[in-house]
Amino acid sequence: AQSVTQPDIHITVSEGASLELRCNYSYGATPYLFWYVQSPGQGLQLLLKYFSGDTLVQGIKGFEAEFKRSQSSFNLRKPSVHWSDAAEYFCAVALGSNDYKLSFGAGTTVTVRA
Amino acid sequence: DGGITQSPKYLFRKEGQNVTLSCEQNLNHDAMYWYRQDPGQGLRLIYYSQIVNDFQKGDIAEGYSVSREKKESFPLTVTSAQKNPTAFYLCASSIAGRPPGLNEAFFGQGTRLTVV
Protein backbone atom coordinates (compact mmCIF):
# COMPACT_ATOMS: atom_id res chain seq x y z
CA ALA A 1 0.00 0.00 0.00
CA GLN A 2 1.14 3.49 -0.70
CA SER A 3 2.27 5.58 2.26
CA VAL A 4 3.80 8.89 3.15
CA THR A 5 5.90 9.26 6.27
CA GLN A 6 6.88 12.40 8.07
CA PRO A 7 9.19 11.13 10.81
CA ASP A 8 9.18 14.31 12.90
CA ILE A 9 5.95 15.14 14.70
CA HIS A 10 7.22 18.40 16.15
CA ILE A 11 10.28 20.57 15.46
CA THR A 12 11.36 23.66 17.38
CA VAL A 13 13.73 26.06 15.67
CA SER A 14 15.14 29.47 16.54
CA GLU A 15 14.22 32.43 14.40
CA GLY A 16 16.90 32.90 11.76
CA ALA A 17 18.05 29.30 11.92
CA SER A 18 17.67 26.83 9.10
CA LEU A 19 14.82 24.34 8.91
CA GLU A 20 14.55 20.93 7.30
CA LEU A 21 11.41 18.79 7.34
CA ARG A 22 11.64 15.19 6.26
CA CYS A 23 9.27 13.28 4.01
CA ASN A 24 9.58 9.71 2.77
CA TYR A 25 7.22 7.83 0.49
CA SER A 26 6.79 4.22 -0.47
CA TYR A 27 5.74 3.65 -4.06
CA GLY A 28 7.02 1.64 -6.95
CA ALA A 29 7.42 4.58 -9.26
CA THR A 30 8.13 8.26 -8.78
CA PRO A 31 4.95 9.93 -7.61
CA TYR A 32 3.92 13.53 -7.85
CA LEU A 33 5.12 15.21 -4.66
CA PHE A 34 3.80 18.23 -2.76
CA TRP A 35 4.35 20.25 0.37
CA TYR A 36 1.49 22.15 2.00
CA VAL A 37 1.41 24.50 4.99
CA GLN A 38 -1.47 24.99 7.39
CA SER A 39 -1.78 27.79 9.91
CA PRO A 40 -3.86 27.02 13.02
CA GLY A 41 -7.55 26.57 12.23
CA GLN A 42 -7.01 27.35 8.55
CA GLY A 43 -7.04 25.54 5.26
CA LEU A 44 -3.96 24.34 3.39
CA GLN A 45 -1.72 26.35 1.11
CA LEU A 46 0.51 24.78 -1.50
CA LEU A 47 4.19 25.58 -0.93
CA LEU A 48 5.71 23.69 -3.85
CA LYS A 49 5.39 20.61 -6.03
CA TYR A 50 7.57 18.20 -7.97
CA PHE A 51 6.54 16.29 -11.08
CA SER A 52 9.75 15.73 -13.03
CA GLY A 53 12.94 17.43 -14.13
CA ASP A 54 15.20 19.37 -11.81
CA THR A 55 15.17 17.63 -8.44
CA LEU A 56 15.55 20.90 -6.50
CA VAL A 57 12.24 22.73 -6.48
CA GLN A 58 11.70 26.31 -5.39
CA GLY A 59 8.47 27.30 -3.73
CA ILE A 60 6.78 30.25 -2.12
CA LYS A 61 7.85 31.95 1.13
CA GLY A 62 11.51 31.05 0.56
CA PHE A 63 11.02 27.29 0.80
CA GLU A 64 12.68 24.69 -1.38
CA ALA A 65 12.54 20.91 -1.54
CA GLU A 66 14.83 18.29 -2.97
CA PHE A 67 13.66 15.03 -4.50
CA LYS A 68 16.04 12.12 -3.95
CA ARG A 69 14.92 9.01 -5.81
CA SER A 70 17.51 6.76 -4.16
CA GLN A 71 16.18 7.66 -0.72
CA SER A 72 12.50 7.98 -1.68
CA SER A 73 12.57 11.36 0.00
CA PHE A 74 11.29 14.87 -0.64
CA ASN A 75 12.62 17.00 2.20
CA LEU A 76 11.57 20.61 2.66
CA ARG A 77 14.11 23.28 3.61
CA LYS A 78 14.32 26.93 4.45
CA PRO A 79 17.66 28.65 5.07
CA SER A 80 16.42 31.21 7.60
CA VAL A 81 13.16 30.78 9.47
CA HIS A 82 10.85 33.65 10.35
CA TRP A 83 8.40 33.64 13.25
CA SER A 84 5.56 33.55 10.71
CA ASP A 85 6.73 30.12 9.55
CA ALA A 86 5.29 28.55 12.69
CA ALA A 87 2.62 26.21 11.32
CA GLU A 88 1.91 22.61 10.44
CA TYR A 89 3.50 21.22 7.31
CA PHE A 90 2.18 18.33 5.27
CA CYS A 91 3.90 16.26 2.63
CA ALA A 92 1.56 14.70 0.06
CA VAL A 93 1.83 12.43 -2.97
CA ALA A 94 -0.27 11.54 -5.98
CA LEU A 95 0.55 8.48 -8.04
CA GLY A 96 0.08 10.18 -11.36
CA SER A 97 -1.82 12.65 -13.45
CA ASN A 98 -5.04 10.66 -13.07
CA ASP A 99 -4.71 10.04 -9.35
CA TYR A 100 -7.22 12.14 -7.50
CA LYS A 101 -6.47 10.58 -4.17
CA LEU A 102 -3.78 12.77 -2.72
CA SER A 103 -2.18 10.89 0.18
CA PHE A 104 -0.98 13.04 3.04
CA GLY A 105 1.61 12.46 5.70
CA ALA A 106 0.67 12.96 9.35
CA GLY A 107 2.23 16.41 9.41
CA THR A 108 5.08 18.16 11.22
CA THR A 109 4.35 21.03 13.59
CA VAL A 110 7.00 23.75 13.53
CA THR A 111 7.46 26.05 16.50
CA VAL A 112 9.68 29.11 16.09
CA ARG A 113 11.31 30.56 19.19
CA ALA A 114 12.62 34.10 19.39
CA ASP B 1 -12.59 37.48 -5.02
CA GLY B 2 -12.52 33.84 -6.04
CA GLY B 3 -12.22 31.13 -3.48
CA ILE B 4 -13.83 28.36 -1.47
CA THR B 5 -16.20 29.06 1.37
CA GLN B 6 -16.98 26.53 4.05
CA SER B 7 -19.70 27.14 6.55
CA PRO B 8 -20.12 27.17 9.41
CA LYS B 9 -16.66 27.43 10.93
CA TYR B 10 -17.76 25.67 14.12
CA LEU B 11 -20.61 23.20 14.39
CA PHE B 12 -21.98 21.36 17.39
CA ARG B 13 -24.40 18.48 17.13
CA LYS B 14 -25.87 15.88 19.39
CA GLU B 15 -24.90 12.27 18.90
CA GLY B 16 -27.23 10.47 16.49
CA GLN B 17 -28.12 13.53 14.45
CA ASN B 18 -27.21 13.99 10.81
CA VAL B 19 -25.42 17.22 9.98
CA THR B 20 -24.57 18.85 6.64
CA LEU B 21 -21.42 20.86 6.02
CA SER B 22 -21.47 23.42 3.27
CA CYS B 23 -18.77 23.99 0.62
CA GLU B 24 -19.16 26.57 -2.14
CA GLN B 25 -16.60 27.68 -4.73
CA ASN B 26 -16.62 30.39 -7.36
CA LEU B 27 -13.42 29.35 -9.08
CA ASN B 28 -15.18 27.52 -11.91
CA HIS B 29 -13.40 24.32 -10.85
CA ASP B 30 -14.93 21.05 -11.96
CA ALA B 31 -13.37 18.88 -9.27
CA MET B 32 -14.16 19.14 -5.56
CA TYR B 33 -13.04 17.13 -2.54
CA TRP B 34 -13.78 16.54 1.10
CA TYR B 35 -11.03 15.67 3.58
CA ARG B 36 -11.15 14.84 7.24
CA GLN B 37 -8.31 15.94 9.51
CA ASP B 38 -7.58 14.39 12.90
CA PRO B 39 -4.60 15.23 15.12
CA GLY B 40 -1.54 13.25 14.16
CA GLN B 41 -3.18 11.65 11.13
CA GLY B 42 -2.90 14.20 8.38
CA LEU B 43 -5.73 14.52 5.90
CA ARG B 44 -7.84 11.62 4.69
CA LEU B 45 -10.04 11.74 1.61
CA ILE B 46 -13.75 11.18 2.22
CA TYR B 47 -15.36 11.82 -1.19
CA TYR B 48 -14.46 13.58 -4.39
CA SER B 49 -16.34 14.72 -7.45
CA GLN B 50 -14.88 15.40 -10.86
CA ILE B 51 -18.06 16.61 -12.50
CA VAL B 52 -21.62 17.58 -11.65
CA ASN B 53 -23.90 14.68 -10.71
CA ASP B 54 -20.97 12.33 -10.23
CA PHE B 55 -18.80 11.52 -7.21
CA GLN B 56 -16.53 8.77 -5.91
CA LYS B 57 -15.71 7.39 -2.50
CA GLY B 58 -12.37 8.17 -1.00
CA ASP B 59 -10.55 6.23 1.67
CA ILE B 60 -12.98 6.82 4.55
CA ALA B 61 -16.44 7.27 3.01
CA GLU B 62 -18.38 5.12 5.50
CA GLY B 63 -20.87 7.19 7.47
CA TYR B 64 -20.74 10.11 5.04
CA SER B 65 -22.76 11.14 2.00
CA VAL B 66 -22.39 13.88 -0.61
CA SER B 67 -24.23 15.40 -3.54
CA ARG B 68 -23.06 17.43 -6.51
CA GLU B 69 -26.12 19.02 -8.09
CA LYS B 70 -24.33 22.22 -8.98
CA LYS B 71 -20.78 22.89 -10.09
CA GLU B 72 -20.30 25.43 -7.32
CA SER B 73 -21.51 23.32 -4.43
CA PHE B 74 -20.43 20.04 -2.82
CA PRO B 75 -22.16 19.56 0.56
CA LEU B 76 -21.09 16.80 2.91
CA THR B 77 -23.54 15.07 5.24
CA VAL B 78 -22.17 13.39 8.32
CA THR B 79 -24.69 10.72 9.18
CA SER B 80 -25.45 9.00 12.47
CA ALA B 81 -23.66 5.95 11.05
CA GLN B 82 -20.30 7.71 11.36
CA LYS B 83 -18.83 6.28 14.53
CA ASN B 84 -16.48 9.11 15.41
CA PRO B 85 -17.56 12.28 13.61
CA THR B 86 -15.77 14.88 15.75
CA ALA B 87 -13.02 16.26 13.49
CA PHE B 88 -11.87 19.14 11.31
CA TYR B 89 -13.31 18.92 7.78
CA LEU B 90 -11.66 20.54 4.78
CA CYS B 91 -13.10 21.08 1.32
CA ALA B 92 -10.90 21.63 -1.72
CA SER B 93 -11.22 22.15 -5.44
CA SER B 94 -9.06 21.86 -8.54
CA ILE B 95 -9.17 22.31 -12.28
CA ALA B 96 -10.96 19.58 -14.21
CA GLY B 97 -8.87 16.56 -15.00
CA ARG B 98 -6.19 17.44 -12.50
CA PRO B 99 -5.86 16.19 -8.94
CA PRO B 100 -5.41 18.84 -6.25
CA GLY B 101 -1.85 20.05 -6.47
CA LEU B 102 -1.03 19.42 -10.10
CA ASN B 103 -2.43 22.83 -10.53
CA GLU B 104 -2.70 24.88 -7.41
CA ALA B 105 -5.28 23.38 -5.10
CA PHE B 106 -7.62 25.67 -3.26
CA PHE B 107 -8.71 24.72 0.22
CA GLY B 108 -11.48 26.18 2.31
CA GLN B 109 -10.92 27.39 5.86
CA GLY B 110 -12.47 24.26 7.30
CA THR B 111 -15.36 23.35 9.58
CA ARG B 112 -14.73 22.01 13.05
CA LEU B 113 -17.48 19.58 13.94
CA THR B 114 -17.99 18.56 17.54
CA VAL B 115 -20.50 15.88 18.41
CA VAL B 116 -21.59 15.77 22.03
Task: Return the SS3 of B116.
Answer: coil
- A74 contact B CB<8A: no
For residue range A63-90, list pLDDT tens digits in order.
Answer: 999 999 999 999 999 999 999 999 999 9
What residues in B contact A105, CB-CB < 8 Å? 42
What residues in A contact B41, CB-CB < 8 Å? 106
Judge: B102–A41 Cβ closer than 8 Å, yes or no: no
Mean pLDDT per 10-residue segment, chain B (116 residues): 87 92 94 89 89 92 97 96 92 71 74 93
A108 to chain B: closest CA residue: B40
Judge: A101–B105 Cβ closer than 8 Å, yes or no: no
